[in-house]
Amino acid sequence: MPSRSCRTSRYRLSAVVPFLAAALLAAALVPSASAQGTPAPAVSASTAATPAADPPKADDKIIFERGSWNAPEPWRTDRMYFQFAYYTWHFHYDPDHQQSYLTDFEYRFDKTWLGGQWIGGFSLFQNSFGQFSQYVYGALQWRPWEEHPQAYVKVSAGLLHGYSGEYKHKIPFNDLGTAPAIIPSVGYCWNRYCGEFVLLGLNAALFTVGVTVP
């Protein structure tokens, strides 16, 4: 084939022809050896010694630390979470107090900081004085108990709006009508369902129930 010889000469690849021939010969001999039952020691030994990857266990803490998007509940980290307040416990009596009703939306990011999972969220609620209020926040959530990974601790920080009129100073730093807030809570999950105890400063606590949504 003169054209191929000319092309090979032009690109000066004649030096690699012996190596290509050796590789082709080796490739031709491998199926023959397998057909005769000759084992491939390194590959077969490694394969026999290393079992197929097992599916992640539900109680494996590493699943949560890696932030797997495909991990089983409640370790999934790509979840939207909706929760609702069903009872407010006021620590001190005030005739103006009312029950608070809250709807809250969170997105649990596949990121961590200081060992905690990043969360972003916002709440719409009726405050303890019957006023429509809002809370926009970021949060970190930790699962500090290895033997009970369904339990968690969460701390959120954000901006609180809606306390106005005669109740404007019922929360601190609310001179402009929007105040900073830091809110700790603890919770526990049963598969996709969770309950939280939310501490509202020294004045009240909120009980919520919620569910994660794929």
Q: Is it true that the peptide bond before 74 is cis, omega within 30 degrees of 0?
A: yes
Taking Cα atoms as reference points, which of 123, 94, 143, 112 lies closest to residue 208? Answer: 123
Instruction: Show the CA angle centred on residue 160, arms to residues 155 and 166, nearest 5°.
Output: 135
**Sequence-ordered strand ranges (E) for the chain:** 80-90, 101-113, 116-126, 132-142, 151-161, 178-190, 193-200, 204-213
**Per-residue model confidence as pLDDT tens digits over 83-140:** 999 889 999 988 999 888 899 999 988 788 888 889 999 999 999 999 999 999 999 9
Q: What is the pLDDT of residue 32?
A: 41
Q: pTM for the whole thing?
A: 0.65
Name the token pair of 148: 């009970």
DSSP 48: H
Distance between CA atoms of residues 28 and 129, nearest Å: 84
| CB 103 within 8 Å of CB 123 | yes
Domain residue ranges in the chain: 2-49, 62-213
**Per-residue model confidence as pLDDT tens digits over 150-170:** 899 999 999 999 999 999 999
| CB 127 within 8 Å of CB 140 | no
Distance between CA atoms of residues 186 and 164, nearest Å: 29
Distance between CA atoms of residues 48 and 170, nearest Å: 69
Q: What is the pLDDT of residue 184?
A: 97
Q: 62-213: which CATH architecture?
A: Beta Barrel (2.40)
